[in-house]
Structures are given as structure tokens and as C-alpha cells.
Amino acid sequence: MDSKTTSPITLGKITIGDGHPCVVIPEGCDNHMGSLVKAKEMAQAAKESGAKIIKWQLHLPEEEMVKDEAIAASREMLKEWGSIWDFVVKFSLSVDDHYQLKAYCDQIGIQYFCTPFSLKAAQILNEMGVCGFKIGSGETEDLPMIEEVAKMGRSMIVSTGMTELSEVDLAVKAVRDGSAPLALAHCMSLYAGQKADQLNYGLIRFYKARYDLPVGLSDHTPPDPIETSDGRKVSHEGRIWAAVHQGANFIEKHFTIDRGQPDADSKFSLNPGDLKELINIVSAAESAMGQERKVYEDEKPVAEWAKRSIVAACDIPAGVEITRAMLTSKRPGTGIRSRDYREILGRRTGQEIKANTILQWEHLV
């Protein structure tokens, strides 16, 4: 599909895009278990761990679901809580809670960010003056909602789990037609037992090339090693390095105070220590992305013995012109460097040079 150059997006004071640091976005989701007090604790813990932003979810059950059908469709997968309807009703924050939570985030200096799960929720968030919208993978193909949200003109991050490429194309077009700043989140909507060979991080670069916009990773893997399909272990740090080196402009990970609490997401979420470590991992991975080609001071002692010098391949009499046949190259790099051999071809020797001698400029006239 045709694409146009898309500038980095902004979420409040945070900029997401190439040329800017990779942003870590802890996803508070419903790990507050419906408690505003706990949500505030999570916001404070995220800030203390080094995060500059935290994402939440605004659920309005009647707006986002047809109750009986949603219960029937999700009863088996979410039987621990009854269904997706029961889970959302039990663990969601109210609209008033979100107003208070946003005010609290503003107060402590961490950016409030939120996913609306219905157009009505997006309208409420828009009235709240949010910095932008995260569109979840379940809504990526919901063009009626996306088109209306895009018209609000706020930055949008659209997640791509459970979504065919043709549907991503449609979502990107819908947002661009609405002129909203856009970024994509590569996502695999696999919440348990995900294998490393299902990560498909190459889609980060693919989306960037296809759509010319910022792309990040919305990741549901735990901060523990995961396996490949043949049983090899891949560490969390290794996975994050891979995502950053594929060009991820942000990393979104679920966040909780306690990974052992009895909700749906905490078991694969980061706790505050994990979040702090993730931020450090991202910073370390980015520091390895430099493109400056230079010889470091610590390399110079290695170069002295590892590089090669021009060496006499045979005895060379005094007063003769140097030819290529008279020369070879060997370690160490303490004489005329092998890269400079053409500069001595045709020069005359000022003295006899024995075979296997490292040539120095003083050997020549």
C-alpha cells in the first residue's frame, strides 16, 4: 500500500520514534483488581522504577460487549473468573476512578496513558484531555471505532495481535485518513506458553518499511526465560535486546506490584524490580546501537600485534627498486603497515634487507 512519511508521535512530553530513546511503557491493565488505591500504588512504583509513562484500560462493559454472547464465547478460556464479562465487571476502575488516577499521575509526574475498549470510552478519555490512545489488538479491525477515534486528532498506538496484514493495512489507512499521529505495536496475543519462535520480531522492521511510521513491541511474555519449540531457553534480556535491535521505538510490558496476586495478567507481568531491570536492559541495548567507526584506545595495544606489516619475502640488495614479488605481510603491525604497500613499490632500498625483516621507512630512500 502507499505510505507517507510519518513523524515521531508524542504522548505528552514523551516522543516515540527513530532518533529518540526507546520508551518503556508499563501496562497497568487490570492488575489493580479494581482498586484505585492499588492503581495509585502501581503508578508510584512504576515511576520509582524509572518509567516515564504508565498505561491503563478503560472498560465500559455495556459499550464493549453483548453480555450473553461475550459470556458464552469466553466462558471456557476465562472460567476461573466466569467469563470476560465477569472479569471486566469485577476488576475495572470506574470513570471517576480514571479521572482521579489521571490527576494522581499528573501530580507525581508520570504520564497517564489509556486503552479505550469502546468508542464511548475513547470519547470520555478525549474529554479528560488524555495524551493519546492505545488501541488494543481486539479493536484493530474495528474500523467504525478507529475512524472516529482518529478524527479526535490525538496520537494513536495501534496493536496488531490476532490481525492479518490486510487488516493492519486497513487500520493504518483509517488512522491516516483521520490525520491522527500513528505508531504500531507488534503484538502476539499469546498469554501462556508462548514459544520464542512465535515472537516474529522481524515484523518490527517490516512494519517500519511498509508504513514508514514508529513501531514498538507490545509483549505478553513473562520476565522469565521462554523456550523455543525444540526446548532451548531464551532469556528475557535476550528477547528485549532482539526487539531493540530490530528497531523497536517502545516496549510495552504488563506491570504489577505482585506477580502472585490472583488476577489474569500478573503472573506474566513485571514487578517493580523487573521493570527497573527492563529499563536498564533497553538502555544497554540502545547503547550498543552506535554507528561510529573508530579505533578505541583500548584496541590500540591489540592492533600492535594483530595488524600486519610489510615483510621482505626474500633477501633484498641495497639500491634496488622494490617490486611486489619482494614483499609479503606478517604480524605484528610494528613496521610499514600492509595497507601502505603500494607506497613503497618502485622505491629503492637504502641498505640490504634480509628475508623475513619487517620493513621500516628508514630502509628506503
Residues 82-103 pLDDT 10s: 999 999 999 999 999 999 999 9
Over residues 20-54, the pLDDT tens digits come to: 999 999 999 999 999 999 999 999 999 999 999 99
The residue type found at 109 is G
pLDDT band, residue 243 (cuts 50/70/90) = very high
The β-bridge partners of 16 are 9
Domain that holds residue 304: 297-363
pLDDT band, residue 212 (cuts 50/70/90) = very high
The answer to whether residues 277 and 321 belong to one domain is no
Residue with cell 529499563: 279
Q: Transcribe 28-80 into DSSP letters.
A: EETTTTT-HHHHHHHHHHHHHTT-SEEEEEE--HHHH--HHHHHHHHTTTTTT
Residue 64 lies in a domain: yes
The answer to whether residues 312 and 270 belong to one domain is no
Cα separation values, 268 from 95, 102, 192, 255, 259, Å? 27, 25, 8, 9, 7
pLDDT of 1 strictly over 50:
no
Judged by DSSP in three states, 123 sits in helix
Task: Give the contacts of 212 (CB within 8 A, at least 6 positions apart).
Answer: 3, 4, 5, 6
Predicted pLDDT of residue 263: 86
The residue type found at 4 is K
* Domain count for the chain: 2
Tell me what percent of the chain is helix, strand and coil, each rounded to the nearest 5: 40, 20, 40
Least confident of 176-185, 186-195, 349-358: 186-195
Residue 82 lies in a domain: yes
Q: 278: burial class by Cβ within 10 Å (0-12, 13-18, 19+)?
A: buried
Predicted pLDDT of residue 165: 97
pLDDT band, residue 191 (cuts 50/70/90) = confident
Question: Residue 302 is part of a domain; what is its CATH number?
Answer: 3.90.1210.10
The answer to whether residues 276 and 50 touch, using CB atoms and an 8 Å cutoff, is yes
Cα separation values, 160 from 143, 183, 205, 207, Å? 14, 11, 14, 10
Average pLDDT of the residues in 230-245: 96
pLDDT band, residue 2 (cuts 50/70/90) = very low
Predicted pLDDT of residue 194: 84
Residue 211 lies in a domain: yes
pLDDT of 4 strictly over 50:
no
Over residues 121-149, the pLDDT tens digits come to: 999 999 999 999 999 999 999 999 999 99
Predicted pLDDT of residue 160: 97
The β-bridge partners of 142 are none
